[in-house]
Chain A
Amino acid sequence: NAGVTQTPKFQVLKTGQSMTLQCAQDMNHNSMYWYRQDPGMGLRLIYYSASEGTTDKGEVPNGYNVSRLNKREFSLRLESAAPSQTSVYFCASSEHLTSGGAHEQYFGPGTRLTVT
């Protein structure tokens, strides 16, 4: 049981390049999330998927796209990377996305992305 896995761990891009961050969970969770973490700031939600087949924008979606490939996998794509997207990206999953629910979010180890 690996929990939430992310690839790659590190990535350096040049401005304008594209890439896809991969995330997979083996806990049979319905909901998955992508966050970015910048120094001194709290994690900010980029996109989330309440269940297989659905995706929604979070707080900071501009410059990103997502795909919920199946129940296990949720990918984040940067179409044209910008230096402002230099950050650490975390994928997370939870059993459900319920209003006011106490379902814990389980986080992956993160991808450290640098855009030059």
Chain B
Amino acid sequence: KNQVEQSPQSLIILEGKNCTLQCNYTVSPFSNLRWYKQDTGRGPVSLTIMTFSENTKSNGRYTATLDADTKQSSLHITASQLSDSASYICVVRAAGNMLTFGGGTRLMVKP
């Protein structure tokens, strides 16, 4: 069964600090992996997409990495801001199948 596990479940950091969120998956055959940001009371919004051949991709202060051999991805947030407070969801697509969603990491950035 395809699964996506995210850690930690929740995280509190101070404004200006960096953090890294983890995503482990057992989806096969792998097609691509997206990180979504979900603000409270809103729908998820895509931050970045990683395909099999990509190791690192940045979107402003967000940097995603992918290790297809170990089936792990991470999302690194640099110089966190209060507006980064949200849930971050890792979503993996298997070739020919629908998406498998992780349970998300709830990040709170405190002033």
Closest A residue to B31 by beta carbon equals A100
Chain A residues positioned under 8 Å from B99 (CB to CB) = 45, 105
A100-B43 contact, Cβ under 8 Å, with A42-B4, A42-B103, A44-B101: no
Chain B residues positioned under 8 Å from A44 (CB to CB) = 101
Q: Is the CB of A109 within 8 A of B34?
A: no
Which residues of chain A (54-99) have a CB below 8 Å from chain B? 58-59, 90, 92, 99
Among listed B55-63, B74-82, B88-96, interface-contacting one: B88-96
Chain B residues positioned under 8 Å from A40 (CB to CB) = 9, 103
Q: Mark B44-63, 1 if CB is under 8 A from A, else 0.
A: 11100101000000000000
Q: Is the CB of B96 within 8 A of A99?
A: yes
B interface, CB within 8 angstroms of A = 4, 9, 31-32, 34, 41-46, 49, 51, 89, 93, 95-96, 98-104
Q: Is the CB of B4 within 8 A of A108?
A: no
Instruction: Tally inter-chain residue pairs, CB-CB below 8 A.
Output: 51
For the complex, is A102 an interface residue (Cβ under 8 Å from B)? Answer: yes
A42-B46 contact, Cβ under 8 Å, with A100-B96, A109-B41: no
Chain A residues positioned under 8 Å from B42 (CB to CB) = 109-110
Q: Rank and list the top 9 A-B pairs by shortest CB-CB distance, nearest first.
A: A107-B43, A42-B101, A100-B95, A100-B31, A43-B101, A99-B96, A104-B46, A42-B103, A107-B44
Give the size of the chain A interface in residues (CB under 8 angstroms): 22
Chain B residues positioned under 8 Å from A34 (CB to CB) = none
Q: How far is the CA of A104 from the CA of B32 in the complex (A)?
A: 11
A42-B104 contact, Cβ under 8 Å, with A58-B98, A109-B43: yes
Closest A residue to B45 by beta carbon equals A107
Closest B residue to A48 by beta carbon equals B98
Partner of A4, one of B4, B43, B93, B101: B43
A30 → B minimal CB distance (Å) = 15
Q: Is the CB of B34 within 8 A of A104?
A: yes
